[in-house]
Amino acid sequence: MGFVDRDLVEAARRGDREAYADLIRSRGDRLYAIAQRILRDIDRTEDALQDALVIAWRDLPSLRDPDRFDAWLHRLVVRSCIHEAVRERRLSVDLRVIPADLTTDTDDFLSVADRDQLERGFRRLDPTHRAILVLRHFAGYEPSEIAELLGIPTGTARSRLHHAHRAMRAALDADARLAAVGG
Amino acid sequence: MTREHDIERVLDVWFTDGPTQMPDRFYSDVVRAVDRQPQRRLARLPLRSLDMTVPRFAALGAAAILILAVLALAVGAGRSPGPTPAPSPSATPVPSAASLPATGGPITPGRYAWAWPGGRLTFTLPAGWSSRADGQISKHENSPTEVVLLPTLPGTPAEVTHVFGDSCHPSGTLKAIGPSVDDLLAALDAQTATDATVSDLVIGGHPGHRVDMRLSSSVEPATCEWSPDGPITIWADPGGTSFFAFPFDHPGAAAYVVDVDGVRVVFIGGAAAEVSAADQAELDGVIASMAFEKTLPG
């Protein structure tokens, strides 16, 4: 964290709302993108992220080390997303959402059908596994950093990441078999 | 898609789909929500950092705990015997006291007051102290040598009305307490995961108690709700705007509970792990200088 951000965090800890707004502004894009990729739904993304950002403001005086602000904030956001995802699963297990921007990527490495399979497989995952995959493959965190964010041992983070990879591969394979059977 | 696809490569590519910018509309919504949300006021008392790796900490865990205990005892041994009985406010007038700066900041030495509906608690501050908007006064704030006092006075938003039943797993355990001194002492004594040590004393001519709170040695901090650093939570208001809490590895903070003619007056005091004997003596001196005044309510 740079010197300016440290000053902003200190000011926000003391109750400076403008400083906190600046902190949100500079980090919002990344946090929004992470939350959306975990939750796969804009409304739920915004609910979870707003909850996390308000909680972060409320609890900011409890942050002992301003240099840990980003890790702390990411942790709050990911937890909020997991909580929202758990709630989502309780409300609607079978809801299927095709991403709005499905066709916007011209990269032909993944076809529309691939993306549909990935979407369905991902949404069947446990919310913690979803978060771990996003933190690893989108945010670029190492397993040790994921462990710190989620408050779990590094070995647990590694094993959950492995499990999530295996579950995604199995989900895709199952879809492929169904497609073959269905013609 | 075939199974030979490298799932990691697939996910790397797939996650590039989706929005990459926070909408301005959403940002505005968040700022408005933050404007409506007060910050929690935590009586945080930083202390010497234990920046050890987990394995090293595990190896030295017993020693680290022992060192903290010894330091705490050593500081305690160097303390003055605590606030001494002071004459009744009516018998010995004290100098007029000023209000603390509303916005906080450095304080010039002198006599100051915390106020609540119906009374004031006055005290003398030496040089080097500062205040916050919430009434906290401290020296070397947010450092390992900090000393701090924080008001939780009757009739104010920070008044102690609810105490956690379990300081390690506080969620769902916040319980209302009665208005008397004994009600608060009983709740602190019954609190799971903390050790409360009660000492009798006199502050400003009124009978009181100092209740030293610290995480019970039988509790494994890593199992607590707010792991890995804490805080342990002692009390809060039901709206979640005012907390008494401190990190797991803090040597402990004290609640001062005074019976002022039937009214329970409470404030928090504490010193971080590396406090100097001189600053500890200043803290004790501030408490010893305290006096209570009655004012007209409203």
Distance of CA B119 to the CA centre of its chain: 22
Q: Which pair of tokens denotes residue A138?
A: 């989108």
What is the reported pLDDT for A58? Answer: 85
Residue B187's contacts (CB-CB under 8 Å, 6 or more residues apart) are: B163, B175, B177
DSSP conformational letter for B198: E
Which residues in chain B are closer than 8 Å to A58, comparing Cβ atoms?
37-40, 240
Q: Using CA atoms, how far apart are residues A83 and A123, in angstroms rounded to an integer?
A: 14
The pLDDT value given to residue B72? 28
What is the reported pLDDT for A4?
60
Between A and B, how many CB-CB pairs are < 8 A?
133
Any A CB within 8 A of B51 CB: no
Measure CA B241 to chain center. Answer: 13
pLDDT digits (tens, 9 = 90+) for B168-216: 888 889 999 999 999 999 999 999 988 888 888 999 999 999 998 888 7
**DSSP one-letter string for B56-123:** HHHHHHHHHHHHHHHHHHHHHHHS-S-PPP---TTTS-----EEPPTT-EE--SEEEEEEETTEEEEE
* Chain B residues touching residue A31 (CB < 8 angstroms): 22
Q: Which helix (H) or strand (E) holds B292?
A: strand B291-294
User: B147-152 and B137-139: which strand pairing?
Assistant: antiparallel
Query: Is B229 an 8 Å CB contact of chain A?
Result: yes
Count other Cβ atoms within 10 Å, centred on residue B82: 14
User: How many of the other CB atoms lie within 10 Å of CB of B160?
Assistant: 26
Decide if B123 contacts B95 (C-beta within 8 A): no
Tens-place pLDDT, residues B61-112: 322 222 222 222 222 222 333 333 333 333 344 557 888 887 778 999 999 9
- Of B26 and B6, the structure prediction assigns the larger pLDDT to B26
**Strand, coil or helix: B210:** strand
Question: CA-nearest residue of chain A to B245?
Answer: A62
Residue in A64, A109, A125 to test binding to B, most B beta-carbons within 10 Å = A64
How many angstroms away from the CA of B40 is the closest CA of chain A?
Answer: 5
SS3 B43: coil
What's the average model confidence in pLDDT over B137-147? 85
Phi-psi region of B126 (alpha: psi -120 to 50; beta: other; left: phi over 0): beta
Of B15, B133, B229, the CB nearest to A15: B133
Contact B240 A58 (CB under 8 A): yes
Task: Compute the nearest-CA separation of A91 from chain B (Å).
Answer: 24
At which residue do the structure tokens 């502004």 appear?
Answer: A25
Identify the CA nearest to A53 among candidates B19, B26, B240.
Answer: B26
DSSP B162: E
CB spacing of A53 vs B132 below 8 angstroms: no
pLDDT reading at B7 higher than 80: yes
Closest CA to B292 of B182, B209, B206: B206
Q: Which residue of B5, B28, B34, B241 to mutate against A (max A Cβ within 10 Å)?
A: B34
Residue in A37, A54, A60 nearest the CB of B33: A54
CA distance B95 to B110: 9
What is the average pLDDT across A124-130? 88
SS3 B172: coil
Whether residues B33 and A134 touch (CB distance < 8 A) is answered with: no
Q: With contacts defined as CB-CB under 8 Å, which chain A residues touch B16? A: 105, 107, 138
* pLDDT at residue number A142: 94
Confidence of residue A107 (pLDDT cuts 50, 70, 90): low
Q: Give chain B's count of helices (H) and strands (E).
A: 5, 17
Among chain A residues, CA nearest to B11: A137
Instruction: Look at residue A141 and give its three-state secondary structure.
Output: coil
pTM confidence score: 0.49
Q: What is the pLDDT of residue A1?
A: 56
Cβ <8 Å between B3 and A21: no
Residue B188, both tokens: 């602190």
Express each pLDDT in A13-70 by its tens digit: 888 999 999 999 999 999 999 999 999 999 999 999 999 999 899 888 877 778 889 9
**Chain A residues close to B47, C-beta within 8 Å:** none
Please answer yes or no on whether A62 and B20 come within 8 Å at the CB atom. Answer: no
DSSP alpha helix (H) spans, chain B = 7-14, 24-35, 54-78, 181-190, 277-288
What average pLDDT does the structure give for chain B? 77
Residues in A closer than 8 angstroms to B231, CB to CB, are 62
Q: Does B239 touch chain A (CB under 8 A)?
A: no
User: What is the amino acid identity at position A51?
Assistant: D
b/e per residue, B250-268, with b = 16+ CB within 10 A? Answer: bbbbbbbbbbbeebbbbbb
Which chain A residues contact residue B233 at CB under 8 A? none
First to last CA, chain A: 54
State whether residue B184 is helix, strand or coil.
helix
The per-residue pLDDT for B41 is 57
Cβ contact, residue pair B17, A168, below 8 Å = no
What crossing angle do the helices spanning A17-39 and A3-13 adopt, rounded to 10°? 100
Is residue A112 predicted with pLDDT exceeding 60?
A: yes
What percentage of chain A has pLDDT greater than the value 70? Answer: 80
What is the per-residue pLDDT for B250? 72
Query: Rounded to whole angstroms, how far apart are CA atoms B21 and A33?
Result: 7
CB distance B214 to B195 below 8 Å? yes
CA distance A25 to A43: 19
Give residue-wise pLDDT tens across range B11-67: 998 999 899 999 999 999 999 999 988 876 544 333 222 222 222 222 223 222 222
Task: Return the pLDDT at B92.
Answer: 44
More confident residue, B162 or B218: B162
Predicted-complex ipTM score: 0.84
Q: Sort out which chain A residues have CB atoms less than 8 A from B30's CB and list them.
A: 24, 28, 49-50, 53-54
Interface contact flag, B38 A58, Cβ < 8 Å = yes
Is residue A9 pLDDT above 60, yes or no? yes
Contact residues on chain A for B240, CB-CB shorter than 8 A: 58
Task: Check pLDDT > 60 for residue A106.
Answer: no
Q: Do B15 and A134 touch (CB under 8 A)?
A: yes
Cβ–Cβ gap A21/B31 under 8 Å: yes
